[in-house]
């Protein structure tokens, strides 16, 4: 089902802008959006054009976006309801829809989730209705490092050998937010101890290993090294071996786009089509971004 073109809070009718350019980024599946100011009302025709570009390219890079948290929230909501991350400790004050992704420590406390994206993953794949997409807006960027990698899961599926396609086509896998949480917490200052209430919010979910995109119908792999724990119905050793093979095949360099962040970038990726990975940056360099996450549908 396509997102509804709707009036977001504070949204007023606007004239369509012919100045918007959607330009494929060379050597990748991603595209950049130029000539768009998201601090201004967005016409329905322009929204539909951006929505289609998002389906076509999976990753859109909106350049030169110097917008407020509420403007990011309002634009995100035009694609669907927003999901609130379980780590309430890193919500932007006054805007729980925004998760702060940052390595900055102030007064001895981390201001955001500093190790987000340590493993390849699709955001919130561990809930019943995984994310449609995420929007990540640069606030403060390091002088070096901090790139984000994306891998096209439709291309990964298309490239699988036919016997492997037949083997996994109708399998299901469990996804759990807790899969690597304690491992990360043991070596990272960014992971707080979860309360019982938080643990109850992230009970494991089971989804198809191969999902059909709900808007385009394209098949793609839907497993990741961060959150996928096991293949349902397979012995543990067989499950581990199969997942390891799928993890490797799903993130081959041929399927990747590397995003090198610029000031004012807001990146909008389709969690139904890609997995992503943070490459990290030197610890002494500050990095901060604001993330909104849009609810999707139950994978089929």
Note whether 273 and 152 are within 8 A (CB).
yes
Query: pLDDT confidence of 173, banded at 50, 70, 90?
Result: very high
Q: How many domains does the chain divide into?
A: 1
289 vs 1: which has the higher pLDDT: 289
Note whether 60 and 31 are within 8 A (CB).
yes
Strands 256-259 and 91-92: unpaired
Is the model's pLDDT at 7 over the cut of 90?
no
Q: What percent of the chain has pLDDT over 70?
A: 94
Among residues 175, 276, 287, 288, the one annotated as catalytic is 276
Instruction: Evaluate whether residue 15 is within a structural domain.
Output: no
Instruction: Evaluate whether residue 89 is within a structural domain.
Output: yes
Which distant-in-sequence residues (6+ apart) come within 8 Å of 157 by Cβ?
165, 210, 219, 220, 221
Give the other-Cβ count within 10 Å of 269's Cβ. 27
Instruction: Evaluate whether residue 264 is within a structural domain.
Output: yes
Which distant-in-sequence residues (6+ apart) come within 8 Å of 105 by Cβ?
111, 189
Among residues 46, 123, 265, 270, the one annotated as catalytic is 123
Instruction: Evaluate whether residue 10 is within a structural domain.
Output: no
Note whether 177 and 86 are within 8 A (CB).
yes
d(CA 44, CA 50): 10
Instruction: Evaluate whether residue 212 is within a structural domain.
Output: yes
Note whether 23 and 36 are within 8 A (CB).
no
Question: Whole-model pTM?
Answer: 0.93
Mean of all residue pLDDT scores within the chain:
94
Instruction: Evaluate whether residue 130 is within a structural domain.
Output: yes
Query: pLDDT confidence of 150, banded at 50, 70, 90?
Result: very high
- Is 88 considered catalytic here? no
Write out pLDDT tens, residues 21-60. Answer: 999 999 999 999 999 999 999 999 999 999 999 999 999 9
Q: What's the CATH number where 60 sits? A: 3.60.130.10
Among residues 58, 121, 259, 288, the one annotated as catalytic is 121
- Is 167 considered catalytic here? no
Query: pLDDT confidence of 190, banded at 50, 70, 90?
Result: confident
Domain that holds residue 59: 21-295
């Amino acid at each position: 089902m396509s997102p509804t073109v709707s009036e977001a809070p504070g949204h007023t009718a606007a004239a369509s802008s012919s100045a918007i350019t959607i330009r494929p980024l060379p050597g990748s599946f991603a595209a950049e959006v130029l000539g768009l100011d998201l601090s201004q009302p967005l016409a329905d025709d322009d929204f539909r054009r951006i929505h289609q570009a998002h389906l076509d390219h999976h990753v859109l890079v909106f350049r030169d976006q110097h917008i407020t948290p509420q403007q990011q929230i309002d634009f995100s909501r035009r694609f669907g309801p927003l999901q609130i991350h379980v780590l309430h400790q890193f919500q932007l004050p006054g805007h729980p829809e925004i998760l702060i992704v940052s390595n900055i420590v102030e007064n001895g406390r981390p201001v955001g989730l500093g190790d987000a994206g340590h493993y390849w993953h699709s955001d919130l794949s561990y809930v019943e209705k995984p994310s449609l997409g995420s929007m990540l807006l640069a606030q403060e960027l390091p002088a070096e490092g901090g790139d984000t990698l994306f891998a096209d899961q439709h291309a990964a599926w298309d490239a699988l050998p036919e016997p492997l396609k037949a083997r996994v086509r109708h399998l299901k896998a469990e996804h759990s937010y807790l899969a690597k949480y304690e491992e990360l917490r043991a070596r990272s200052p960014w992971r707080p101890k979860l309360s019982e209430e938080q643990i109850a919010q992230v009970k494991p979910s089971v989804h198809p290993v191969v999902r059909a995109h709900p808007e385009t119908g394209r098949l793609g792999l839907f497993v990741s090294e961060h959150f996928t724990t096991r293949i349902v119905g397979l012995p543990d050793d067989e499950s581990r071996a199969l997942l390891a093979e799928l993890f490797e095949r799903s993130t081959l360099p041929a399927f990747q786009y590397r995003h090198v962040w610029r000031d004012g970038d807001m990146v909008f990726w389709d969690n139904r089509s890609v997995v992503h990975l943070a490459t990290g940056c030197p610890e002494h360099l500050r990095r901060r971004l604001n993330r909104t996450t849009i609810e999707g549908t139950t994978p089929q």
